[in-house]
């Protein structure tokens, strides 16, 4: 076999999963190449809040967070159920605290408590403050030349905001890993290098073919290849083939999350699971044609084509997304649906956390995505819903605000619902003219179906046997959380855990000690 380059561990993708895998492999003394197909490191993880759900970890213990591990385990088992193997679930639950202890030994990797309620707050085992931590902020200048290699935030990349001097959230997570990796020897971080194919022999993965600006090269990976290349969010054909609700226009990840690495894993015999699943959200329809992940509705109500409310607008975003999908599948909801609100904030929509600046409302108006009426019946005409129904919807909301209880949809009943309103009911009257409506569709934070793995992130074939030398983590792996999104910090937290477990497995796999 002719190889152009050689390493112990080849990591594909530079999100939280890939960076954790590369870092753990390098710290175990393995020579490591990390390839990133785009021109920036960080993937969706760089856009993210950087939250991590690791029950019982030392940061929670030190910072006074909820560190009751037994109830966290019971909570996770109950929410996820038996859709994924229990031993996979336990591998996530049992490894998070260990991973944080391991990472905190490095002064470049620091974390803080970030209270964030669990997403099924009605369960007795749910935590109202959460089991959630975040990276500590990091001065951008500490990255030196790597600063320009870090994928910017959504606001910086899509809305032209200036680059921040202080990195927080996902920026700090990716930045801290880049900083830590830059101080390790035997690590080679490569941009514009995309996995196109795995090289196999006798059922073992020996390395990969990589497309880079100079052409294609073959890289030998003595211990194994870790696919942590995100989901297949931007591959319209693959979405359609596997029946993922929503479209590419609602995908929040960078366009380079195109599923090519998952396909390479499938071509090498990897089985897949959960391929119709994503981490969903209501999506604010934008003038550029995107529908974007939006949370923190502290007023207004969603109405359907009949002018009626259909859900708790403040519930956790993936539960909202699943409600939207279920209603669409039953033909009860057509897109767009509308966020209806009044003029109490001079026409600004009651959205606390759009993830990317909303921009100029006039642009939405010009695109037909923001409509107004001097009265509710005029607004109803503008959005094509029955006037009587819209007036009745607003009257009902006003009654509920007066009583302080939404007894139709339970808005405000769970701690998460009130996280953006400092504990108050996240609703407001709809009675100040003029009235407004913004168009909404479906968005996703990434697909979550992918290569099936065991608890050490080894990719399994269709008979359930591990494929030697092939590992998967993050959104490239069939998610441990199955068809649920138990808590904020699950996508990144589980991605990091399985990448770490993969690296540890590669470091001590007896079958490949002398490769
Ligand atoms: C606004 C926002 C906020 C969020 N906040 C949180 C949060 O606080 N906590 C949380 O847990 N989750 C959060 N999420 C979800 C989370 O960001 C993603 O699920 C997670 O980052 C995915 O991580 P990953 O490592 O699997 O992939 P990614 O971070 O998407 O990285 C994958 C990388 O692989 C690269 N790649 C793709 N194909 C190839 C190839 N063939 N060869 C080489 N490289 C390739 C891509 O270019 C990309 O850079 C948020 C999402 C969004 C959009």
- Does residue 265 have its Cβ closer than 6 Å to ligand 1? no
Percent of the chain with pLDDT over 70: 99
Collapsing DSSP to helix, strand or coil, 365 comes out as helix
Which of 292, 296, 446 has the most ligand 1 atoms within 8 A of CB, as the residue to mutate?
446
- 246-282 residue pLDDT tens: 999 999 999 999 999 999 999 999 999 999 999 999 9
Secondary structure of 91-128 as H, E, C letters: HHHHHHHHHHHHHHCCCCCCEEECCCCCCCCCCCCCCC
DSSP class of 438: E
pLDDT for 513: 53
Hunting for tokens 């494929």 — which residue is that? 467
pLDDT for 514: 44
Residue 213 Cα to ligand 1 middle (Å): 23
- Does residue 253 have its Cβ closer than 6 Å to ligand 1? yes
C-alpha span between 102 and 81 (Å, rounded): 29
- 308-345 residue pLDDT tens: 999 999 999 999 999 999 999 999 999 999 999 999 99
- Does residue 38 have its Cβ closer than 6 Å to ligand 1? yes
Residue 39 Cα to ligand 1 middle (Å): 15
- Does residue 443 have its Cβ closer than 6 Å to ligand 1? no
pLDDT confidence bin for 85, thresholds 50/70/90: very high
Averaged pLDDT for residues 94-99? 98
pLDDT confidence bin for 510, thresholds 50/70/90: low
Atom of ligand 1 nearest to the CA of 259: 38
- 232-250 residue pLDDT tens: 999 999 999 999 999 999 9
Which of 10, 11, 15 has the most ligand 1 atoms within 8 A of CB, as the residue to mutate?
15
Residue nearest (by alpha carbon) to ligand 1 atom 11 = 489
Residue 47 Cα to ligand 1 middle (Å): 8
Query: How many helical (H) and strand (E) elements, i.e. helices and strands, does the chain have?
Result: 14, 23
- pLDDT at residue 66 is higher than 90: no
Residue 256 Cα to ligand 1 middle (Å): 10
Sheet holding 52-53, edge to edge: 52-53, 132-135, 111-113
User: Residue 62: how many CB atoms within 10 A of its CB?
Assistant: 13
- Does residue 400 have its Cβ closer than 6 Å to ligand 1? no
- Does residue 451 have its Cβ closer than 6 Å to ligand 1? no
Nearest alpha carbon to residue 424 among 410, 406, 404: 404
Q: Output the CA–CA distances (angstroms, integers) from residue 159 to 148, 326, 351, 360, in the order listed.
A: 17, 32, 17, 11
Atom of ligand 1 nearest to the CA of 17: 25
User: Residue 40: how many CB atoms within 10 A of its CB?
Assistant: 19
Residue 174 Cα to ligand 1 middle (Å): 11
Backbone Cα Rg of the chain: 23
User: Residue 236: how many CB atoms within 10 A of its CB?
Assistant: 15
pLDDT confidence bin for 294, thresholds 50/70/90: very high
DSSP class of 184: S
Atom of ligand 1 nearest to the CA of 13: 34
pLDDT for 511: 66
Nearest alpha carbon to residue 11 among 270, 183, 186: 186
Residue nearest (by alpha carbon) to ligand 1 atom 47 = 256
DSSP class of 501: H
Atom of ligand 1 nearest to the CA of 491: 11
Residue 387 Cα to ligand 1 middle (Å): 43
* Torsion sign, CA atoms 321, 327, 331, 332: negative
Residue 154 Cα to ligand 1 middle (Å): 13
- Does residue 285 have its Cβ closer than 6 Å to ligand 1? no
pLDDT confidence bin for 512, thresholds 50/70/90: low
Nearest alpha carbon to residue 326 among 483, 510, 512, 460: 483
Expressed in angstroms, the distance from the first to the final Cα of the chain is: 14
List of long-range contacts for 186-190, beta carbons under 8 Å, 24+ apart: 186/26, 186/29, 186/30, 186/31, 186/32, 187/22, 187/26, 187/31, 187/32, 187/33, 187/34, 188/7, 188/32, 188/33, 188/34, 189/14, 189/22, 189/34, 189/36, 189/41, 190/33, 190/34, 190/35, 190/36
Q: Which residues of 453-491 are buried (b: 16+ CB within 10 A; e: fewer)?
A: bbbbbbbbeeeeebbbbbbbbbbbbbbbbbebbbbbbbb
């Amino acid at each position: 076999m002719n190889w152009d380059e050689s390493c112990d561990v080849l990591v594909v993708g530079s999100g939280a999963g890939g960076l954790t895998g590369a870092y753990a492999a390098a710290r175990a003394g393995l020579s490591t190449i990390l390839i990133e197909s785009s021109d920036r490191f960080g993937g969706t993880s760089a856009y993210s809040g950087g939250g991590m759900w690791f029950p019982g970890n030392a940061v929670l213990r030190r910072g006074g967070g909820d560190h009751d591990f037994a109830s966290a385990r019971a909570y996770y088992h109950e929410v996820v159920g038996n859709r994924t193997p229990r031993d996979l679930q336990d591998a996530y639950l049992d490894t998070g605290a260990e991973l944080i202890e391991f990472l905190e030994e490095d002064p470049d990797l620091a974390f803080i408590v970030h209270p964030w309620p669990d997403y099924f707050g009605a369960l007795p085992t749910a935590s109202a403050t959460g089991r959630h931590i975040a990276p500590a902020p990091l001065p951008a200048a500490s990255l030196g030349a790597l600063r320009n290699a870090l994928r910017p935030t959504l606001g910086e990349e899509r809305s032209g905001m200036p680059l921040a001097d202080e990195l927080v959230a996902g920026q700090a997570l990716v930045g801290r890993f880049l900083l830590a990796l830059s101080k390790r020897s035997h690590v080679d971080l490569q941009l514009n290098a995309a996995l196109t194919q795995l090289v196999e022999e006798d059922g073992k993965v020996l390395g990969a073919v990589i497309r880079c600006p100079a052409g294609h090269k073959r890289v030998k990976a003595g211990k194994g290849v870790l696919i942590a290349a995100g989901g297949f969010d931007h591959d319209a054909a693959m979405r359609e083939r596997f029946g993922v609700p929503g479209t590419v226009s609602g995908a929040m990840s960078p366009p380079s999350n195109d599923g090519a690495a998952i396909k390479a894993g499938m071509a090498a015999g990897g089985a897949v699971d959960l391929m119709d699943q994503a981490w969903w959200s209501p999506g604010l329809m934008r003038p550029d044609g995107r529908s974007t992940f939006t949370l923190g509705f502290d007023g207004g109500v969603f109405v359907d084509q009949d002018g009626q409310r259909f859900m708790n607008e403040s519930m956790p975003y993936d539960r909202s997304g699943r409600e939207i999908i279920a209603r669409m599948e039953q033909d009860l909801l057509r897109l767009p649906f509308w966020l209806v609100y009044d003029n109490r904030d001079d026409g600004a929509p009651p959205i606390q956390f759009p993830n990317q600046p909303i921009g100029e409302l006039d642009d939405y108006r010009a695109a037909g995505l923001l409509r107004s009426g001097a009265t509710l019946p005029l607004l109803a005409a503008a959005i094509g819903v029955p006037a009587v129904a819209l007036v009745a919807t607003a009257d009902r909301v006003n009654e509920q605000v007066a009583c302080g209880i939404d007894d139709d949809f339970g808005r405000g009943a769970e701690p998460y619902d009130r996280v953006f309103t400092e504990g108050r009911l996240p609703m407001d009257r709809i009675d100040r003219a003029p009235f407004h409506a913004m168009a909404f569709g479906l968005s996703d934070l990434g697909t979550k179906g992918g290569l099936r793995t065991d608890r050490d992130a080894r990719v399994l074939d269709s008979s359930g046997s591990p494929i030697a030398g092939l590992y998967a983590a993050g959104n490239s792996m069939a998610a441990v959380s199955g068809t649920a999104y138990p808590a904020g910090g699950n996508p990144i937290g589980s991605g990091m855990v399985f990448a770490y477990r993969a690296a540890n497995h590669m470091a001590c796999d007896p079958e490949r000690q002398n490769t």
